Amino acid sequence: MIVVMSHCATEEEIKAVSAWLEREGFQIHLSRGVERTIIGAIGDRTRLAGSGLEAMQSVERVVPILQPYKLASRTFQAEDTIIRAGGLEIGGDTIHVIAGPCAVESREQLLQSARIVRDAGATMLRGGAFKPRTSPYSFQGLEEEGLKLLAEAREETGLLIVTEVMDTRTLQLVAEYADILQIGARNMQNFLLLRELARLDKPVLLKRGPSATIEEWLMAAEYIMSGGNYNVILCERGIRSFESYTRNTLDLTAVPVVKDLSHLPVIVDPSHAIGRWRYVPAMARAALAAGADGVMVEMHPKPAEALCDGSQSLTPANFEAMMKDLRRFAGAMGRKMP
């Protein structure tokens, strides 16, 4: 539920209501707007029966949150959340592009990729050091050596690093190197991992599972937020359907729906959704038109030689052309790109 304080509520009155709720076993979160302060309270509402909460000084009204996800709900927080990482703000007027290879393959490959995407206007570098693959015989990543190469690329280019964490065993290691921790689609409902992420003071990019509903996706975000980490970025990356021509079906309807239901920023990964590089630029443009706060795309200096996902990776020339288009699209919608 949320407790809406009156516009004339003093700091002492806000603290008194907050303290009362905490004594009753509620987890609270303050949201200070221009005219109102809202106290979000997560806990057992039955404990409030006959409590007289609405009679407390400067309490204007108490509003129940009907959705099963509370902290991620737009009811809980009306204003959009801005995620701050390394000097960047994700979720505001600026549209960010995360780009790079599917996997870190070598020092030369990664540094070349980082320079290309930086020069074209990307602000974050993606690249997998630990790779969850369908086949146990496929390339599994360079692991810690890949993380060290990502850190070197950040040092040279200034790009923030987005890389995937697969399990609780490697979480602390990946967190030492990454600026934003990515939770892949296969791990969206790995609740033990989500609970551990909640303990970290680091942004999390949460990909939607291939068969997950929007509510299940937001409930996964709730796991992270309920543990104290509110820095969650949602990522739509396609869902499984009967269509087999593309790798997945990109659900762009999810973008405006989630933006309406939740205050969290949303980005789109058209590369994994489509699985074919030639359609990625069109879907990236469509993502911005739908209201996404950014896109994540795969770019490889030599896609034909990529150790994974070469068929969905843009060449440097195709990536640069896409970035020029996205910049025009952003401007037409009153937004901007770095």
> Structurally, how many domains does the chain consist of?
2
73 located within any domain: no
68 located within any domain: no
338 located within any domain: no
Three-class SS of residue 270?
helix
Give the lowest-confidence range in 77-81, 194-198, 208-212, 235-239: 77-81
Residue 55 has pLDDT above 90, yes or no: no
- Cα diameter, the chain: 68
Q: Are residues 126 and 21 in the same domain?
A: no
16 located within any domain: yes
| Contact by Cβ (8 Å): 184, 163 | no
Q: Are residues 27 and 109 in the same domain?
A: no
Whether the pTM exceeds 0.85: the reply is: yes
Residue 259 has pLDDT above 70, yes or no: yes
| Contact by Cβ (8 Å): 53, 62 | yes
∠ CA 38-39-45, nearest 5°, is 130
Amino acid (one-letter) located at 7? H
Select from 63, 96, 112 the last residue of a domain: 63
Backbone torsion region of residue 138, taken as left when φ is above 0, otherwise alpha when ψ lies between -120 and 50, otherwise beta: beta
Residue 23 has pLDDT above 90, yes or no: no
Q: Are residues 137 and 53 in the same domain?
A: no
105 located within any domain: yes
Which residues is 63 bridged to in the sheet? 2
Phi and psi at residue 265, in whole multiples of 5°?
A: -70, 150
Residue 137 has pLDDT above 70, yes or no: no
Q: Are residues 92 and 58 in the same domain?
A: no
Mean pLDDT of the chain: 93
Q: Are residues 104 and 16 in the same domain?
A: no
74 located within any domain: no
Structural domain including 42 reads 2-63
Which pLDDT tens digit goes with each residue over 242-255? Answer: 999 999 999 999 99
Region 258-273 average pLDDT: 97
CA 67/CA 48 separation, integer angstroms: 19
Q: Are residues 12 and 92 in the same domain?
A: no
Q: How many CA atoms lie within 13 A of 263 on its CB side?
A: 18
77 located within any domain: no
Which residues is 5 bridged to in the sheet? 59
Q: List Cβ<8 Å contacts ≥24 apart for 138-144.
A: 138/308, 139/103, 139/105, 139/307, 139/308, 141/103, 141/104, 142/103, 142/104, 142/105, 143/170, 144/173
Q: What DSSP element (H or E) covers 18?
A: helix 11-23
**Any idea what the CATH number is for the domain that residue 291 is in?**
3.20.20.70
Q: Are residues 222 and 122 in the same domain?
A: yes
For position 25, what pLDDT does the model report?
86
Say what percent of the chain tops pLDDT 90: 74
Q: Are residues 10 and 109 in the same domain?
A: no
153 located within any domain: yes
**Any idea what the CATH number is for the domain that residue 8 is in?**
3.30.70.1140
CA 271/CA 255 separation, integer angstroms: 16
Which pLDDT tens digit goes with each residue over 183-199? Answer: 999 999 999 999 999 99
Residue 34 has pLDDT above 70, yes or no: no
| Contact by Cβ (8 Å): 313, 304 | no
Q: Exposure string (b/e) for 24-62, b if CB count within 10 Å is 16 or more?
A: eebebbeeeeeeebbbbbbbeeeebeeeebeeeebbbeb
Q: Are residues 206 and 326 in the same domain?
A: yes
Q: Are residues 257 and 224 in the same domain?
A: yes
Q: Are residues 177 and 317 in the same domain?
A: yes
Q: Are residues 202 and 232 in the same domain?
A: yes
Say what percent of the chain tops pLDDT 70: 96
∠ CA 298-302-308, nearest 5°, is 55
How confident is residue 50, by pLDDT bands cut at 50, 70 and 90? Answer: low
